Amino acid sequence: MKHKSWHFLLFWLGCALAFNSFAFGTNRVVLPKASRQGGAMSLLNCDKISMDLGGTSPDDLEKPLALALGQLLEASDELETPLNNARDVALSQVDKGAKLDPRVQLERAREVLKNHFNRPTTQLVLLKSGEEDRGFQPERGEDIKENWVFSLLIPTLSDHIYWIVVSKDQSPKAYVYGFN
């Protein structure tokens, strides 16, 4: 019990520190129009969230951001993802005993995720080497030099900290996980 309480306290302390750096909108970024057309970018509206790209141009991050946001909408065996947490919320809104087709569950989860993601309280931070005070460092220790690593908070959905990891190598792949 003490272990969980300690993590919970650290989580909220981190949220308070992160909120302080995002609260006044100084780090807001509008993504290039081309990146918002179609796919995850049109479903997950980055214009409304707080983003800290650490001085990196949104143009330079168009592909990693598209991969990262697309990964948020993909079904995963990873238990603690934003989509799986959104699925739990969506299922809680269904009558008990009702059976939903898995495709319907997925679409409802995506809609719940979209509604929670597209809020000013959502925070997406690109982590950078040597700047450990920005965002939340990856729980699994991914190398920030080899990967684009984004920390993500969606406080209206859950108290999880999420990380979206996009490989910088020639065959970019992405995955997402969370910690509560």
Domain boundaries, the chain: 2-179
DSSP letters along 67-123, please? Answer: HHHHHHTS--S-SSSHHHHHHHHHHHTSPTT----HHHHHHHHHHHHHHHHSSTT-E
For the segment 137-143, the average pLDDT, to the nearest whole number, is 91
The reported pLDDT for the residue numbered 115 is 94
Residue 106 pLDDT > 70: yes
Give the lowest-confidence range in 9-13, 39-43, 45-49, 170-174.
9-13
Distance CA 66, CA 89 (A): 25
Question: Structure tokens of 159?
Answer: 């108290």
For the segment 29-57, the average pLDDT, to the nearest whole number, is 63
94 pLDDT band, cuts 50/70/90, is confident
Question: Structure tokens of 15?
Answer: 């949220």
The reported pLDDT for the residue numbered 72 is 93
Distance of CA 123 to the CA centre of its chain: 8
pTM of the model: 0.74
165 pLDDT band, cuts 50/70/90, is very high
